[in-house]
Amino acid sequence: MIGVNRLTSNSELQNLDLIDLLSERHILVRRISEKAWNDKSNIYISNSEWYIMARIYKKRPTISYVTKNVDISRQAIHKFIKNLSVKGLVKVQNVEYNKKEKCIELTALGNECYEQNAALKAQFEKKIAANISAEQVKVLKDILKLDWGL
């Protein structure tokens, strides 16, 4: 599964700077993760839709909150939310005391899909750890969690 649409060979990765390395690895793992889900499920969910679902999991944010906190255009977010709603993964409701605002939350099906995908990603992380070591995965996660001062 690791070789799914490999963007760059390992030898080509050696010449990339940090930003490009992060980008290449991000694209690769997202593509593999998306493929793993879509191979097992009859509900197609894009990476952008997963990104939105992750932001609303166990929450009921307003759509305007999501648009401010997700790095996708407002127009695209509305399209993704509509797609997620049509698939039965989210429900959009009016906000009490505010006629303009709408809030969004995962449906039972949306929660189930999100949790199943989290389990797939955990398996993927274990596979990575088997190749580079659990300690290296921990170090990488710790580094990514640090405040980079950017």
Residue with tokens 């429900």: 91
Q: Residue ranges per domain, the chain?
A: 10-145
**Taking the chain (150 residues) in consecutive chunks of 10 residues, what is each chunk's mean pLDDT?**
49 82 89 90 92 93 89 91 96 85 94 95 93 94 91
HSE at residue 29, side-chain half, CA atoms within 13 A, is 13
Please give the pLDDT value at position 69: 87
CB 92 within 8 A of CB 102: yes
DSSP secondary-structure letter at 62?
B
DSSP reduced 3-state for 137: helix
CB 35 within 8 A of CB 2: no
Please give the pLDDT value at position 3: 45
Overall CATH class of domain 10-145: mainly alpha
Please give the pLDDT value at position 14: 81
pTM of the model: 0.81
DSSP secondary-structure letter at 133?
-
Name 128's Cβ contacts closer than 8 Å, sequence gap at least 6.
Answer: 137
Please give the pLDDT value at position 107: 97
Contacts 24+ apart (CB under 8 A), 52-56: 52/77, 52/80, 52/81, 52/84, 53/84, 53/89, 53/90, 53/106, 53/110, 53/113, 53/114, 54/114, 56/90, 56/104, 56/105, 56/106
Please give the pLDDT value at position 8: 53
Please give the pLDDT value at position 12: 76
